[in-house]
């Protein structure tokens, strides 16, 4: 009896409220297909195979002369950079007067299992750059690469320095041996030849597994508890669902590209040693001689800061900047911190060189 009387009635109240919120959720929450992740207006200006080049419509009267192309990661899709107006990387850059393009890698199918690094670097990315150069009448453009897209852009900047005016590397995967993340640990023990031989492309389910072991209790329990507690908060729910939809939309990675990725970056660590070959050409990071801005998130649990940082020291550029931010991998590109600190610093740096 005594122990019963010690229970705070508020606990019961909270539990009942939580149960009610769970029951009400289906009525209050939109279905994923009702949520559109295409926020900022844009035009599709170029297509090659399944890739698309998006050109965002300007939000300022005057624009900087040099266009900026974003090479997004191969995991998940580019929508996180424009997930909602207040946290949009894209919108912020447009408001700072940049002429902005985004390369959407599309969703590869079984047919694309032989696409490799060469196709992505010297094919798709190069084709997008050439298109922008022609459309904007510029001989060089600025490129930003994020995460795995940063690795592709790094390879491109080293192989085609004549086309890159400024290079921005945002949490790029560079030094695989230094990476201390769970993903790197799994990658190092993976029989990638067997995987690609038997199943072709790297399936999204495997990526979902990798995500599920990153902060499993915070992400697997607490996140959803918070969601149900805030079910009446329309803005919170909308933001949550957008991010959830984005998280659930991971395209497969072409088998050959994935194989080279795991072997050359995580297992043999060839890129940072200037021993990696793409399309028969060796990637020499010293050839990255254009102004370069490297952005790193201190709390990144997908790409360790020590995995990205070596890029800054390995490149040949004399005009190079390294910035570290007290946030995580996604927080760096889609948070209030990115709006208040990361983007203004990037914009200032880029404007001076555009």
Q: Which residues are catalytic?
A: 147, 300, 329
Of 43 and 193, CB closest to another protein: 193
Both structure tokens of 290 = 């254009």
Task: Transcribe 216-272 into DSSP letters.
Answer: HHIIIIIHHHHHHHTTT-HHHHHHHHHHHHHHT----B-HHHHHHIIIIIIIS-TTT
Report the residue count for the chain: 354
H/E stretch holding 344 reads: helix 343-352
Q: How far is the CB of 314 from another protein (least distance, A)?
A: 25
Measured between alpha carbons, how far is 168 from 289 in angstroms, rounded to an integer? 12
Q: How far is the CB of 193 from another protein (least distance, A)?
A: 10
Q: How far is the CB of 182 from another protein (least distance, A)?
A: 4
Q: In what order do the strands lie in the sheet with 320-325?
A: 42-48, 51-56, 100-104, 68-71, 141-146, 164-170, 292-297, 320-325
Q: Under DSSP, is residue 312 helix (H, G, I), strand (E, B) or coil?
A: helix
Measured between alpha carbons, how far is 200 from 194 in angstroms, rounded to an integer? 9
In sequence order, the β-bridge partners of residue 146 are 170
Q: How far is the CB of 203 from another protein (least distance, A)?
A: 11
Of 8 and 38, CB closest to another protein: 8
151 contacts 307 by C-beta, under 8 angstroms: no
Both structure tokens of 45 = 């200006």
Torsion, Cα 186 187 192 194, to 10 degrees, reads: -10
**What Rg value do the Cα atoms of the chain yield, rounded?**
22
Of 221 and 351, CB closest to another protein: 221
Q: How far is the CB of 196 from another protein (least distance, A)?
A: 10
270 contacts 141 by C-beta, under 8 angstroms: no
Task: Transcribe 143-184 into DSSP letters.
Answer: EEEETHHHHHHHHHHHH-GGGEEEEEEES----TTT--SHHH
Measured between alpha carbons, how far is 257 from 253 in angstroms, rounded to an integer? 7
Q: How far is the CB of 245 from another protein (least distance, A)?
A: 24
Q: How far is the CB of 23 from another protein (least distance, A)?
A: 21
Residues that bind another protein (CB under 8 A): 6-8, 10-11, 14, 49, 110-115, 119, 123, 180-182, 185-186, 188-191, 194-195, 198-200, 213-218, 221-222, 301
């Amino acid at each position: 009896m005594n122990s019963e009387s010690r229970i705070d009635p508020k606990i019961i109240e909270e539990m009942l409220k939580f149960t009610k919120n769970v029951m009400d959720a289906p009525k209050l929450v939109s279905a994923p297909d009702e949520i559109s992740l295409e926020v900022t207006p844009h035009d599709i200006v170029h297509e090659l195979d399944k890739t698309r080049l998006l050109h965002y419509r300007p939000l300022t009267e005057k624009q900087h002369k040099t266009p900026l192309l974003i090479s997004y990661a191969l995991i998940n899709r580019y929508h996180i950079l424009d997930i909602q107006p207040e946290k949009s990387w894209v919108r912020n850059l447009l408001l700072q007067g940049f002429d902005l393009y985004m390369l959407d890698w599309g969703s590869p199918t079984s047919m694309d299992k032989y696409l490799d690094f060469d196709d992505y670097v010297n094919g798709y990315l190069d084709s997008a750059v050439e298109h922008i150069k022609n459309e904007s009448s510029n001989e060089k453009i600025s490129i930003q690469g994020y995460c795995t897209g940063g690795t592709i852009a790094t390879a491109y900047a080293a192989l085609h320095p004549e086309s890159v005016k400024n290079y921005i590397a945002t949490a790029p995967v560079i030094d695989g041996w230094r990476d201390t993340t769970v993903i790197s640990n799994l990658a190092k023990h993976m029989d990638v030849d067997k995987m690609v031989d038997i199943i072709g492309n790297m399936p999204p389910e495997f990526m979902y597994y990798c995500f599920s072991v990153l902060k499993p209790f915070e992400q697997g329990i607490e996140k959803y508890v918070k969601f149900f507690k805030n079910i009446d908060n329309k803005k919170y729910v909308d933001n949550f669902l957008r991010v959830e939809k984005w998280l659930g939309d991971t395209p497969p990675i072409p088998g050959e590209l994935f194989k080279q990725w795991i072997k050359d970056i995580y297992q043999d660590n060839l890129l940072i040693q200037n021993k990696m070959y793409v399309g028969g050409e060796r990637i020499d990071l010293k050839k990255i001689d254009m102004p370069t801005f490297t952005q790193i998130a201190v709390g990144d649990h997908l790409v360790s800061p020590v995995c990205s940082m070596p890029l800054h020291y390995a490149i040949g550029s004399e005009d190079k900047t390294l910035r570290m931010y007290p946030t995580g991998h996604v927080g760096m590109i889609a948070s209030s911190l990115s709006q208040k600190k990361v983007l203004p610093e990037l914009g200032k740096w880029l404007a001076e060189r555009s």
